[in-house]
Amino acid sequence: MKKPQIVLIIAVLAIVGYLYVQPVKGLQKAEDANHADTKAAAPAAQAQANFLSVEQVSETAKSAIGQSLAAPITELEGKLKAADGDAKKDIEKQLATKWDDVNQPGPAAFYYKSVAESEKTADAWITAGNHFNDAYKLTQDTTAQPTYLTNAVQCFEQARQLAPDNLDAKTGLGIAYVNGGAPSPMAGISLLLEVVKQDPTNRSANLNLGVFSMKSGQFEKAVERFKTVIAQKPELEPYFYLAESYKQLGRKKEAIEAYTKCKTMMPDPAFGQRIDEYIKELN
């Protein structure tokens, strides 16, 4: 199976997990009635959490990818233990890339964070933060979630100190806040709304505002967010979310059209069969 196809499968698994596996409770309304997207999920529990190390996260990821793919990573980890200075940073970059190649953002995030601590640039911190957000999105392990959220917040806050006006940093921090990285998800929603006010077509902010609207049952608002994203670049993830939103609204024709579009974007028999099941439920 080619890497782009694997990436799409990972994306679909993330969609299912992110929407339906992780807990959603404590929906809130914003004080400002003009902020239409501002119901959101309550933060994930972080009290008395035992934060995971890169070694723990890596071992779990190795089990997921298998011995053959894990072998070169293990070799690099051995070299890292004896390295220092520029050699250490170079190996950390290699490890981050290796984990990216096998679609494991969790361990990659730790190495990107270590690189950011050395380079001290906003872009490096944003890269690390995005990987922690992606790791949170992919995991169904509630014990790992606090580790990813806390690190994501730290990375994006560092980025914003260096580049206060950077919209990628603001968006990433907003996502982490809503997912549970702040006492109230409203702090994150407010950041994302600030981003789309400055940049109405911002892909990441609109996509995540749409997801958070879905989680709070605001499917009409979610549809508009996903249509904004798709208008720029039609991709599997927003199309799947759009189909799900249409289904929840009872708009069967539009849901079937969006599901069918997803099927054309993922020419994989197993995925196609799953989509056919969704469509059959609507007919």
Residue pLDDT, tens place only, 153-175: 999 999 999 999 999 999 999 99
Percent of the chain's residues with pLDDT above 70: 82
Average pLDDT score over residue span 60-69? 93
Q: SS in 3 state form for the chain? A: CCHHHHHHHHHHHHHHHHHHHCCCCCCCCCCCCCCCCCCCCCCCCCCCCCCCCHHHHHHHHHHHHCHHHHHHHHHHHHHHHCCCHHHHHHHHHHHHHHHHHCCCHHHHHHHHHHHHHHHCCHHHHHHHHHHHHHHHHHCCCCCCHHHHHHHHHHHHHHHHHHCCCCHHHHHHHHHHHHHHHCCCCHHHHHHHHHHHHHCCCCHHHHHHHHHHHHHCCCHHHHHHHHHHHHHHCCCHHHHHHHHHHHHHHCCHHHHHHHHHHHHHHCCCHHHHHHHHHHHHHHC
> Sign of the CA dihedral 183, 186, 190, 191?
positive
Domains, the chain: 51-199 (1.25.40.10), 204-283 (1.25.40.10)
Report whether pLDDT(31) > 50.
Answer: no
Task: Give the pLDDT score at 183.
Answer: 82
Mean pLDDT (the chain, rounded): 85
Q: CB within 8 A of 11, min separation 6: which ones? A: 236, 237
Average pLDDT score over residue span 235-246? 93
| Of the listed ranges 76-90, 213-227, 265-279, the one predicted with least confidence | 265-279
Task: Give the pLDDT score at 270.
Answer: 79
Report whether pLDDT(3) > 50.
Answer: no
At residue 130 the predicted structure's pLDDT band, cuts being 50, 70 and 90, is very high
